[in-house]
Amino acid sequence: KPVTIPKQKIYLAFYKPRQVMTTMSDPQGRPCVADYLKHMKTRVFPVGRLDWTSEGLLLLTNDGDWAQKILHPKEQVTKTYLVKVDGIPSSRDLEKLKKGVSIIGGKVRALFVAFDRGGTSSQHRGLRVIIAEGKKHQVRLMFQKIGFDVLRLRRVAIGRLRLGSMKPGELRPLTPRQRALVFQQDQLSLRYQRSVERTQI
């Protein structure tokens, strides 16, 4: 009888640079994720996506079940972004994002959104945004809905797994503990939800 050798499961964190496609190939010859994986003998694929002009944490694996679990809506895996927009949104604007806005693909909302310490100038403010959905161009479309264009977008966490000190183009293997962090909700969004629940009591 043929002997089947179990395929080794691989789990990686990757800092996707800007102007890199979240694909394994590109018919137009643009840089893509596969360009950073040429040294690997086992094929892996991206879990979800980041836009061409976006950067930050991207998960790579050859474990289809793990990838599907992360992407499944019922898991509510949070994604945290640092965002710079062309202007300074008001508190009313940010409240609209928390309550939810309609974009292509349905209604979405921010579990948490607030001004961040970094990326501040007289014309621009950096924001930290946490979402649980994964619609195409979601964060950019949410800000367009309230009248702002996104100038820069960096994903800094998936669940409680942080980008940390990783540099653009860097790959790191994930330990079992780090893989578990993906499914743990970001603490900022949890604290915000509990504060909302207290005000509604």
Q: Among positive and negative, which fits the CA dihedral 116, 120, 122, 123?
A: negative
Cβ within 8 Å of residue 190, ≥6 positions away:
none
d(CA 92, CA 119): 21
Residues labelled as active-site residues? 51
The answer to whether the CB of 20 falls within 8 A of the CB of 52 is: yes
Given a contact cutoff of 8 angstroms between Cβ atoms, the answer to whether 155 and 128 are in contact is no
Q: 21-49 b/e with 16+ CB inside 10 Å = b?
A: bbeeeeeeeeebbbebbeeeeeebbbbeb
- How much is the CA Rg of the chain, to the nearest whole Å? 18
